[in-house]
């Protein structure tokens, strides 16, 4: 009954490798989001999804791919990791349209070397 | 597009001092929500408050208080008698109720250090 689970919590990968960050929710919330947190920028939206099989770009989508085949999962893939993608990644959910409260995962700290 | 600005990147105070974290926002919409989140050293985001654009009443919760002023597009956060446990990064955020996805737009954050 964890709500939102992100895995892994920490990841070190090499430049050019593909890496997938996982996000799983137990609530069946419609909306799911991926943010990245960087010093001085706060959190910026990468991608979001309104429902299964519906995804859309956020503010900083380049270099990332998402999918949502099931309501509860929203994986984020870095197809060819770059050092600029070193960041802390947060997954979030929201119940549905008109709902304002967002629930955040614990974050994944990704380092690209 | 909406924007949230937290001009103070870092604030350092001594325990028991009062401290105010500033937040200025920009949006053309009349219906929106403002938030404050706390991110302690452990890294998770902790929800503190949500305020809608039609409610300009200030709110107090223990040592925390929030001052929402639409005239200046500000939503400032004051901690009274600060404590070491208040040391964290604080984020102000904005969401438009009717935008696609209702995603949050965050400010850059203010790192508060409370020294004993």
Tens digit of each residue's pLDDT (9 = 90 or more) over A99-112: 777 889 999 999 99
A-interface mutation test, from B6, B95, B101, B110, most A Cβ less than 10 A away: B101
Task: With beta carbons under 8 A apart, name residues in chain B contacting A101.
Answer: 47, 50
pLDDT recorded at residue B100: 57
Chain mean position to CA A43: 11
The burial of A92, by beta-carbon neighbours within 10 Å (0-12 exposed, 13-18 middle, 19 or more buried), is given as buried
Write the CA distances from A65 to A12, A46, A82, B4, integer angstroms.
Answer: 19, 9, 14, 27
Out of A44, A90, A99, the one facing B102 most closely (by C-beta) is A99
Interstrand relation of A64-66 and A76-78 (parallel, antiparallel or unpaired): antiparallel
pLDDT tens for residues B55-114?
888 888 899 999 999 999 999 999 999 999 999 999 999 988 766 566 889 999 999 999
Count chain A–chain B contacts defined by CB atoms under 8 A: 61
Out of B50, B97, B101, the one facing A31 most closely (by C-beta) is B101
């Amino acid at each position: 009954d964890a709500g939102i689970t992100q895995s892994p919590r920490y990841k070190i990968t090499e430049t050019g490798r593909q890496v997938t960050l996982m996000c799983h929710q137990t609530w069946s919330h419609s909306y799911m989001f991926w943010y990245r947190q960087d010093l001085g920028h706060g959190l910026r939206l990468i991608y979001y999804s309104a429902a299964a099989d519906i995804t859309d770009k956020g503010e900083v989508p380049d270099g990332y791919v998402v999918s949502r085949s099931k309501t509860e999962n929203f994986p984020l893939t870095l197809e060819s990791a770059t050092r600029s993608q070193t960041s802390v990644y947060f997954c979030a959910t929201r119940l549905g349209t008109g709902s304002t409260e967002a629930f955040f995962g614990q974050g994944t700290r990704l380092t690209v070397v | 597009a909406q924007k949230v600005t937290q001009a103070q990147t870092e604030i350092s105070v001594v325990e028991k001092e009062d401290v105010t974290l500033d937040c200025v926002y920009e949006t053309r919409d009349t219906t929106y929500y403002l938030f404050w989140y706390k991110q302690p050293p452990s890294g998770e985001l902790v929800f503190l408050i949500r305020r809608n654009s039609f409610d300009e009443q200030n709110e107090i919760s223990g040592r925390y208080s929030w001052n929402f002023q639409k005239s200046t597009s500000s939503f400032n956060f004051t901690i009274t008698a600060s404590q070491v446990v208040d040391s964290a990064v604080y984020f102000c955020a904005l969401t438009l109720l009717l935008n696609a996805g209702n995603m949050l737009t965050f400010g850059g954050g203010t790192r508060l250090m409370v020294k004993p």
